[in-house]
Structure 1
């Protein structure tokens, strides 16, 4: 694994230098859109929905769409004063009981690895979390945005899990549940308890397989063995794309020269 972030966990006067690693990866089957006859990949152009013209990267701005459908165009000056954070500190705000964290608010997960010189305070924090059955609520800056996260322990490793903001969790508003609650008979409830007990057991992740992924791989393998493989020839880039690239490079050079006080070419 390769570290995606370096910083330090701070709690009280203790500072633990750490590296951050993605704890999960997506193994979903990914399909490409291709030309049916020769297997060539389908490319898309950046086209304005209003005038139909192809747009270069230099003419692309950020737009914020309002609930009414209006579009507000923002440039670099508009975004210059936004509260961007570049701190490399994972600051512990408080330690809270683990059961107070609703699993629904958990977002992305990362492993924390300590520097060799910080193994002892790392273990100290790990043991404190495990023995008190608490998690540490922290703030951390990832990709220039400050977010709330928690620290917990998994297999002797401290895990950082970012949390969704409260307004990112939808309310479960089902009209059918607002109606009169049906009465559950005692015999029905007892039978339900019996069913639960008959299916009770421990979670074994190896007991479950991704049938869809395996089936797709089997189909692909069969086609490979049968010689049904498309080997598309890489097409040369169109002149329009080359011009755009050259123009972008030239503008970058000109800007660099201008910043140095030199005449643009």
Structure 2
């Protein structure tokens, strides 16, 4: 597994050298844009519209637009120097309960592995956190951006979850058309709760698959092999009159799909009297 960050976890005066590894991967199907006539991949060129010429990487700098059309230039080394030594440190500032953090704050997951010959302090932190039931709230700088982060126990080791800062989470009050108060009938609420109970199950991640990706891969394979492409027709959705009908229909359909199938009794041949 590729190491994407090296540094240390620090809390108090304790310093534990660690490495970060990407814990997830994007399995979205990547497609290239081609020229329709000859199927040649299209190239995108970095070009300055003012000077009307193509640019190389060394010709490009970063700038912050503080007024319309006015920029202050920011050099890469200036930004890196601002981070200082924190660039290579996961500084745990607090220990909190995982349930205190709303999932909206979580961004991306990384496995934390111990550095060479540093397994003991790593396992000490892991076991102490496991027994205390707490997670570490930390700060880390990755690729010149500072993140809030959660350090927690995961399976046999530790995991780091980068988080959004509070000012990066939008205010829900900006969502339009949310009713302040809307009465629902007791019957509607009862049916909704029954439907929730009926669909409640234990979370088993292997049960869930990206059906769209699998369908696209099957289509690609069919095109490569030259087989006839079969398009699965979408099942017509059942029309329901109102909310009560929809809830009841959902319960009826769900009950039928989850009901155990009865085994057919073995057929008995009638004895023919001699």
Task: Give the TM-score category using the shorter length.
Answer: 0.7 to 0.9
1:117 Cα deviation from its structure 2 partner: 2.9
Q: Deviations over 1:189-241 (max 9, x none)?
A: 222111111111011222121122112211221222129xxxxxxxxxxxxxx
Residue aligning to 1:130: 130
Residue aligning to 2:234: none
Q: Are 1:72 and 2:71 an aligned pair?
A: yes
Residue aligning to 1:4: 4
Contact preservation (8 Å) 2:92, 2:139 = yes
Contact preservation (8 Å) 2:6, 2:19 = yes
Contact preservation (8 Å) 2:79, 2:144 = no
Contact preservation (8 Å) 1:86, 1:141 = no
1:48 Cα deviation from its structure 2 partner: 2.1
Separation in 2 of the partners of 1:78 and 1:8? 22
Give the structure with higher Rg (CA).
2
Cα 1:78–1:25 change in 2 (3 A) is closer
Separation in 2 of the partners of 1:20 and 1:78? 23
Q: Deviations over 1:62-93 (max 9, x none)?
A: 23234x64341415399469613344222221
3-state DSSP class of the match of 2:141?
strand
3-state DSSP class of the match of 2:27?
coil
- Give ranges in structure 1 of 5+ residues lacking alignment: 228-265
Separation in 1 of the partners of 2:76 and 2:117? 43
Residue aligning to 2:82: 83
Residue aligning to 2:175: 174
3-state DSSP class of the match of 1:139?
strand
Q: Are 1:15 and 2:15 an aligned pair?
A: yes
Cα 1:79–1:30 change in 2 (3 A) is same
Contact preservation (8 Å) 1:140, 1:149 = yes
Q: TM-score, normalised by structure 2?
A: 0.73
Residue aligning to 2:102: 102
1:59 Cα deviation from its structure 2 partner: 3.2
Cα 1:142–1:206 change in 2 (3 A) is same
Corresponding residue pairs, total: 225
Deviant stretches of 4+, over 6 Å: none
3-state DSSP class of the match of 2:123?
helix
Q: Are 1:222 and 2:222 an aligned pair?
A: yes
Q: Deviations over 1:150-187 (max 9, x none)?
A: 1011112200111112221111223322x451112222
Residue aligning to 1:253: none
Q: TM-score, normalised by structure 1?
A: 0.75
Residue aligning to 1:263: none
1:95 Cα deviation from its structure 2 partner: 0.5
Alignment of 1:149-168 (within 5 A): 149-168=149-168
1:107 Cα deviation from its structure 2 partner: 1.2
Residue aligning to 1:235: none
Contact preservation (8 Å) 2:126, 2:158 = yes
1:29 Cα deviation from its structure 2 partner: 1.0
Separation in 2 of the partners of 1:78 and 1:22? 26
Cα 1:41–1:191 change in 2 (3 A) is same
Q: Deviations over 1:125-161 (max 9, x none)?
A: 1122222221101122322443321101111220011
Separation in 2 of the partners of 1:82 and 1:71? 24
